[in-house]
Amino acid sequence: MAHNLSEFKLIHWIRQQSTQSHPDLQTGIGDDMAIMQMGGQQLLITTDMLLEGVHFDFETATLEQVGYKSMAVSLSDCAGMAAVPFIAVVGVALPKEMTMEQAKQLYQGLQKAAEQFNCPIVGGDTTRWDKPLAIDVTMLARQGKHPPVHRSGALVGDIIMTTGTLGGSLAGKHLDFTPRVKEALALTDLVTINAMMDVSDGISSDLRHICRESGVGAVIEAKSIPISAAVERSVNPLAAAMNDGEDFELLFTLCPENASILEQKWPALSDLKLSPIGRIIAADKDASDEGYRVFLKTSDKTITPLEPKGWEH
Amino acid sequence: MAHNLSEFKLIHWIRQQSTQSHPDLQTGIGDDMAIMQMGGQQLLITTDMLLEGVHFDFETATLEQVGYKSMAVSLSDCAGMAAVPFIAVVGVALPKEMTMEQAKQLYQGLQKAAEQFNCPIVGGDTTRWDKPLAIDVTMLARQGKHPPVHRSGALVGDIIMTTGTLGGSLAGKHLDFTPRVKEALALTDLVTINAMMDVSDGISSDLRHICRESGVGAVIEAKSIPISAAVERSVNPLAAAMNDGEDFELLFTLCPENASILEQKWPALSDLKLSPIGRIIAADKDASDEGYRVFLKTSDKTITPLEPKGWEH
Is A19 a residue whose pLDDT tops 50? no
Question: What's residue B104's pLDDT?
Answer: 92
Q: Which of B34, B41, B93 sits opposite A39 (nearest CB)?
A: B41
Residues B193-242: pLDDT tens digits?
999 999 999 999 999 999 999 999 999 999 999 999 999 999 999 999 99
Question: What's residue B33's pLDDT?
Answer: 85
Residues of B in Cβ contact (< 8 Å) with A20: 114-115, 118, 120
* CA-based nearest distance A30→chain B, Å: 8
> Hey, of B43, B125, B201, which one would you mutate to test binding to chain A, going by the most A CBs within 10 A of its CB?
B125
Residues A132-166: pLDDT tens digits?
999 999 999 999 999 999 999 999 999 999 999 99
- pLDDT mean across residues, chain B: 89
Instruction: Find out whether B310 and B204 touch, Cβ atoms under 8 Å.
Output: yes
Interchain proximity B48–A17, CB inside 8 Å:
no
The helix-helix angle for A63-80 and A181-190 (nearest 10°) equals 10
Is A16 a residue whose pLDDT tops 70? no
* CATH of region B5-143, choose from 3.30.1330.10, 3.20.20.70, 3.40.50.1110, 3.30.70.270: 3.30.1330.10
* CA-based nearest distance B181→chain A, Å: 19
Interchain proximity B89–A19, CB inside 8 Å:
no
CATH architecture of B151-305: Alpha-Beta Complex (3.90)
Is B118 a residue whose pLDDT tops 90? yes
The model's pTM? 0.89
Least confidently predicted of A103-112, A303-312, B125-134: A303-312
Question: What's residue B182's pLDDT?
Answer: 97
**Number of Cβ pairs closer than 8 Å across A and B?**
230
Q: Which residue of B has its CA nearest to A39?
A: B39
Question: What's residue A313's pLDDT?
Answer: 43
Please tell me whether residue A272 adopts helix, strand or coil conformation: coil
Interchain proximity A51–B129, CB inside 8 Å:
yes
Is B310 a residue whose pLDDT tops 70? no
Interchain proximity A45–B87, CB inside 8 Å:
yes
Interchain proximity B120–A22, CB inside 8 Å:
yes
Is A309 a residue whose pLDDT tops 80? no
Residues A20-68: pLDDT tens digits?
456 566 655 567 788 888 777 788 999 999 999 999 999 999 999 999 9
Interchain proximity A90–B53, CB inside 8 Å:
no
Q: Alpha carbon B220 to chain centroid distance?
A: 18
Interchain proximity A28–B104, CB inside 8 Å:
no
Residues of A in Cβ contact (< 8 Å) with B33: 123
Instruction: Find out whether B16 and A140 touch, Cβ atoms under 8 Å.
Output: no
> Hey, of B127, B137, B139, B150, which one would you mutate to test binding to chain A, going by the most A CBs within 10 A of its CB?
B127
Please tell me whether residue B113 adopts helix, strand or coil conformation: helix
How many whole angstroms separate alpha carbon B158 and alpha carbon B36?
28
Please tell me whether residue B292 adopts helix, strand or coil conformation: coil
* Ranges of each domain in chain B: 5-143, 151-305
* CA-based nearest distance B253→chain A, Å: 24
Of residues B75 and B290, which shows the higher confidence score? Answer: B75
Residues A103, B36, B206, B5: what is their CA dihedral angle, to the nearest 10 degrees?
Answer: 10
How many whole angstroms separate alpha carbon B51 and alpha carbon A198?
30
DSSP A79-94: HHTTEEEEEEEEEEEE
Least confidently predicted of A120-124, A225-229, B227-231: A120-124
Instruction: Work out the percent of chain A whose per-residue pLDDT is above 70.
Output: 87
Is B10 a residue whose pLDDT tops 70? no
Question: What's residue B313's pLDDT?
Answer: 43
Residue in A151, A180, A212 with CA at minimum distance from that of residue A78: A180
Is A8 a residue whose pLDDT tops 60? no
Binning pLDDT at 50, 70 and 90, where does residue B5 land?
A: very low
Is A310 a residue whose pLDDT tops 60? no
How many whole angstroms separate alpha carbon B254 and alpha carbon A197?
50
CATH superfamily of A5-10+20-143: PurM-like, N-terminal domain (3.30.1330.10)
Interchain proximity B41–A38, CB inside 8 Å:
yes
